[in-house]
Structure 1
Amino acid sequence: MKNILGNLGLATTASVQLTFKRGDGQPLKTATLKTKGGEPEQLPLFSSKETICAEVKVANSPGKKVDHYGIKVQLLGQIELASERGHPQDFLSLVRDLAPQGDLVKQETYPAEFANVEMQYDSHRGIQVRLRYLLRVTISRSYANSVVKDFPFWVRNYEAAPAPVPNAAPIKMEVGIEDCLHIEFEYDKAKYHLKDTVVGKIYFLLVRIKLKHMEVEIRRRETTGAGTHARNETETLAKYEIMDGAPVRGESIPIRLFLSPYDLTPTFSNVHNRFSVKYYLNLVLVDEEDRRYFKQQEIQLFRLLDDKAAANGTAEAAHISS
């Protein structure tokens, strides 16, 4: 049976290679990411409205020919929830035909271009949701399985800094336990870019319990679904100790927290009616009996437009094979 299938061409396959390029001829930027195993991974980096160019090389097995019903490349944007693993939803789909029906008897090279593509959402890899972009090359075949290869890339979008609000008051909150503890804390603002610094102060107005230490956490909350079907996943990205020892009434503790060392993304609100990503500063106080007291404040994060030129290194071209 194996020999019969080979004679019919069912065992004949084709290899596909793809090289990303920028439409403006500038060096191709790359984004360095971490895989689930913690290993670094580099992907081509683009922003919305940029032109994505690619060079597709398709080759047959030596001495074999591959008959096909056409070769095409698609640019896809997909959202995949953990609860729907293996069934992503396409929110962006563009296609370019590379070759009509025919026979592949030698290596062929095809240029492809997607001009001024609107990619309004940032790429995202979270606990329960993934938003990704990719180029998919398909060699359609009649009597054998079509050859389909995916080549992912990363998208980051940037915002201008918000206009300063004259005489804007800092954000103030209070936390306390009646007749035992009363704390007032403030942050200088509610919106930060990813390389910003959080500046604030903690005021101890009443201290009648023995505190051991205090820390600020950066928390990320990922929400999928809505209403009664909403599902939240929260992860603590960083812990920063701001006090060690017992404070006294009237004491003031400064906060200065640099955001750049941490793996943060912009705040995402109701992306394609599928998911949201929010960030919180969580104040944690621990007493001598290891009881913990919490107070959290939501902050908005954005990627500053001025950081676009320094986006994670450059390369002439990113080459991916499969």
Structure 2
Amino acid sequence: MSFFGFGQSAEIDVYLDGQETRKTAEVKTEDGKKERLLLYYDGETVSGKVNISLKKPGSKLEHQGIKVEFIGQIEMFYDRGNHHEFISLVKELARPGEMIANSSYPFEFSCVEKPFEVYTGANVRLRYFLRVTIIRRLADIVKEVDIAVHTLSSYPEMNNSIKMEVGIEDCLHIEFEYNKSKYHLKDVIVGKIYFLLVRIKIKHMEIAIIKKETTGSGPNTFTENGTIAKYEIMDGAPVRGESIPIRVFLAGYELTPTMRDINKKFSVRYFLNLVLMDTEDRRYFKQQEITLWRKGDKLRKPNVQSPAIMAGTQNLQNTQLQTAHLQAQQAAQQKQQQAEDDNSDKEPTTKQAMVKEDFQRAPSNSQDATAPREDAFDGRLESPGDDSPESERIQNMTREAGDGQNNDNGTENLE
């Protein structure tokens, strides 16, 4: 609404290059809803056009300049007044003057560094957005457009399994194992629990994925714990020597990569929480931290050929046809010459038959031609890494005594 002519007299629209075909991602908003945003990665160029249209045809818009900004920002919910910007890039689109018609301004932020992934949690929000500002004397006209950013990681080289013995003294002694300590967001957690000593009546066992969000520092540190998923892996009393398998699929849950000390403002860590409950409803648990990372999607290149490639392919096909035609002509000439030789003298026929006989018998007698291929194939099958089964490799790994959160005997007890 415009009062006394001081309201907004223009509308701003931002068009990003390739937005029709660019991949999108769901991002949680501050109010808990989800919206789909255009997806970018670290180092990608952000470019497009800013279209400004006047609301009243024939009118004019006086301004002190037009600019577009690319901003990466961290906002603490408990400190709304302060926004921490870790990226701030500015492009001037127009100098001060008057706008008398609709205008369009191209912009480009080349190879922009985007070190962190977008995140909206309980106490913090990290976002990337474009802000277009028409600077005016009384009130600026501002338009903001958010984008999504994902950080990709490579497969970790060292990814040892997690194997630990925990329990309650003289009451319970179990050994649990997870196949890896680092998982991508669509991975599967595979493990097992082995009961070495059972002297309490256990009726229930579950495993949960817990997210711990830590914001601030010093006395202003806030920690928010949330349970992402919970699985019941046993119902009933186990006995000594029993083994319980674990298999948890991560693809169906809203997970983010592990974030450690993001711009010295917040961290997001994930834990696997193993919980046992006895018949008296007492709970015994053990937490183990895992690392989550985002894996890049495997994209198949479309089978679309450029005109130059198609022309080269056509030339190659024509060359092959010409070569086949020449070979056919040469074969016909050789056949005609052979017929003339057969008519003139019968001895070449016997010689030719002998040559054919030797050629057919040579592969069966020359075993050296096939032996190297069989040896090479067998060598691939008998690789040194396949001789030792998985159990032997796990047993050879160093056992971890604890994660620094337990007593020396690796026991935790929560009643």
TM-score, normalised with respect to structure 1: 0.87
In structure 2, stretches of 5+ residues that fail to align are: 301-415
1:121 paired to 2:116: yes
Query: For 1:101-250, what aligned pairs fall within 5 Å after superposition?
Result: 101-142=96-137, 144-163=138-157, 168=160, 170-250=161-241
Partner in structure 2 of residue 18 of structure 1: 14
Partner in structure 1 of residue 359 of structure 2: none
Match of 1:283 among 247, 251, 274: 274
Select the structure of larger CA radius of gyration: 2
TM-score, normalised with respect to structure 2: 0.68
1:38 CA drift (Å): 5.5
Q: Which has the higher strand share?
A: 1
Query: For 1:62-73, what aligned pairs fall within 5 Å after superposition?
Result: 62-63=56-57, 64-73=59-68
Partner in structure 1 of residue 303 of structure 2: none
Instruction: Supply the distance in 2 between the matched residues of 1:87 and 1:180 (Cα, whole angstroms).
Output: 53
1:41 paired to 2:32: no
In structure 1, stretches of 5+ residues that fail to align are: 311-322
Structure possessing the higher relative contact order (Cα contacts under 8 Å, 6 or more residues apart): 1
1:51 CA drift (Å): 0.6
Match of 2:21 among 10, 13, 27: 27
Letter in 1 for 2:233: I
1:302 paired to 2:296: no
Partner in structure 1 of residue 311 of structure 2: none
1:106 CA drift (Å): 2.2
- Residue identity over aligned pairs, in percent, reads 52
Distance 1:147 1:75, change over 3 A: same
Question: Any conservation in 2 of the 1:12–1:65 contact (CA below 8 Å)?
Answer: no
1:109 CA drift (Å): 1.2
Instruction: Supply the distance in 2 between the matched residues of 1:111 and 1:174 (Cα, whole angstroms).
Output: 62
Instruction: Supply the distance in 1 between the matched residues of 2:228 and 2:81 (Cα, whole angstroms).
Output: 28
Q: Which has the higher helix share?
A: 2
1:271 CA drift (Å): 0.6
Instruction: Supply the distance in 2 between the matched residues of 1:268 and 1:16 (Cα, whole angstroms).
Output: 35
TM-superposition CA deviations, 1:39-96 (whole Å, max 9, x none): 4411111001001112211112214321001111000000011111242111100011
1:27 CA drift (Å): 2.5
Instruction: Supply the distance in 1 between the matched residues of 2:149 and 2:200 (Cα, whole angstroms).
Output: 49
Instruction: Supply the distance in 1 between the matched residues of 2:8 and 2:204 (Cα, whole angstroms).
Output: 67
Letter in 2 for 1:13: S
1:19 CA drift (Å): 1.6
Instruction: Supply the distance in 1 between the matched residues of 2:165 and 2:13 (Cα, whole angstroms).
Output: 58
Instruction: Supply the distance in 1 between the matched residues of 2:64 and 2:30 (Cα, whole angstroms).
Output: 37
Question: Any conservation in 2 of the 1:242–1:255 contact (CA below 8 Å)?
Answer: yes
Instruction: Supply the distance in 2 between the matched residues of 1:129 and 1:309 (Cα, whole angstroms).
Output: 33
1:37 CA drift (Å): 5.8
Instruction: Supply the distance in 1 between the matched residues of 2:298 and 2:185 (Cα, whole angstroms).
Output: 12
Instruction: Supply the distance in 2 between the matched residues of 1:308 and 1:132 (Cα, whole angstroms).
Output: 26
Letter in 1 for 2:271: Y
Question: Any conservation in 1 of the 2:22–2:38 contact (CA below 8 Å)?
Answer: yes
Provide the alpha-carbon RMSD of the alignment.
Answer: 2.1
TM-superposition CA deviations, 1:229-288 (whole Å, max 9, x none): 322111000001111111111101011111111111111111111111100000011122
1:171 CA drift (Å): 1.5
Partner in structure 1 of residue 46 of structure 2: 52
Question: Any conservation in 1 of the 2:28–2:120 contact (CA below 8 Å)?
Answer: no
Secondary structure of the residue that 2:78 maps to in structure 1? helix
Instruction: Supply the distance in 2 between the matched residues of 1:271 and 1:299 (Cα, whole angstroms).
Output: 18
Question: Any conservation in 1 of the 2:30–2:120 contact (CA below 8 Å)?
Answer: no
Distance 1:47 1:309, change over 3 A: farther
